[in-house]
Amino acid sequence: MNITDFLRSENWRDESSGPRYVQLRRRIEEGIDSGLLLPDAPLPPEREIAALTELSRVTVRKAIRELVRKGAVVQRQGSGSFITGAVQRVEQSLSHLTSFSEDMARRGLSSSSTWLERGIFLPSPEEVVTLALAADSSVARISRLRQAGGQPMALERASLPLDVLPNPTLVNSSLYEVLDQDDNRPVRAHQKISAINLDEDDARLLGVAAGAAGLKIERISYLSSGRVIEFTRSIYRGDAYDFVAELRLSPS
């Protein structure tokens, strides 16, 4: 059966089984569970689903919204709704100070970013303290949704002192590459990782269900002089990352 026949009202509609949007949501979930709708498959346009199922577009929209909330479907601006893709899990070493672009390139994955914020701002008290900023200084912020191989992987919100990154718009792909050009690439970092449940906004950006498991990572990076140059708060998808560290017996 193809998706068109699968959605055709006469093949599944039953007036007695609860709200219509729930019926449609369940039908699409059935399609996913049975393997008819594979990861990354597009859903037909809302208008077409409405015609096939003989439901109103409002009902169709409500069913799709529920599927997005549950993480089964992702909406891509301008191109429609898709079954959530299977994400490739990546193993990330905790002992090397690398950048996202380098990590993904090493795995043969192309990386890309969707900009959430990029500019010069008044610092928050936390930024003033962490970056040791003067009270009247500004801060450069770059916030991105980071994708690898087309899949959303992490949200990264980086803050840097303005003299280190006077023009945040210069960062197009790799922040560390831009820092490297000015000999400002960090040589040491302190990283804190905590488990979280993703809130609705972050989950939507990462294409997973609200409440799904995630990792909150704070990285504070230093130059060889000891100066702090980066304070980055990241949210990583819990289903996409394994962090690994090599442990050695301490000399007694």
Residues that bind ligand 16G (CB under 6 A): 99-101, 156, 158, 174-177, 217, 219, 230, 232, 234
CB of 223 vs ligand 16G, minimal distance in Å: 14
Residues 55/20, Cβ–Cβ less than 8 Å = yes
Helix (H) / strand (E) containing 206 = helix 200-206
CB of 233 vs ligand 16G, minimal distance in Å: 9
| Cβ-based nearer residue to ligand 16G, 46 or 177 | 177
Q: Supply the DSSP symbol for 42.
A: B
| Cβ-based nearer residue to ligand 16G, 21 or 100 | 100
CB of 174 vs ligand 16G, minimal distance in Å: 3
| Cβ-based nearer residue to ligand 16G, 43 or 139 | 139
| Cβ-based nearer residue to ligand 16G, 47 or 106 | 106
In 3D space, the residue among 218, 220, 222 whose CA is nearest the CA of residue 188 turns out to be: 222
Within 13 Å and on the Cβ side, how many CA atoms surround 48? 11
Q: What does the block give as tokens for 201?
A: 């906004």
How far apart are the C-alpha atoms of 230 and 109, rounded to whole Å? 25
| Cβ-based nearer residue to ligand 16G, 180 or 199 | 180
CB of 90 vs ligand 16G, minimal distance in Å: 11
| Cβ-based nearer residue to ligand 16G, 84 or 159 | 159
Helix, strand, coil percentages (3-state) for the chain, rounded to 5, are 30, 30, 40
CB of 125 vs ligand 16G, minimal distance in Å: 21
Q: What does the block give as tokens for 165?
A: 């990154």
How far apart are the C-alpha atoms of 113 and 122, rounded to whole Å? 24
CB of 156 vs ligand 16G, minimal distance in Å: 6
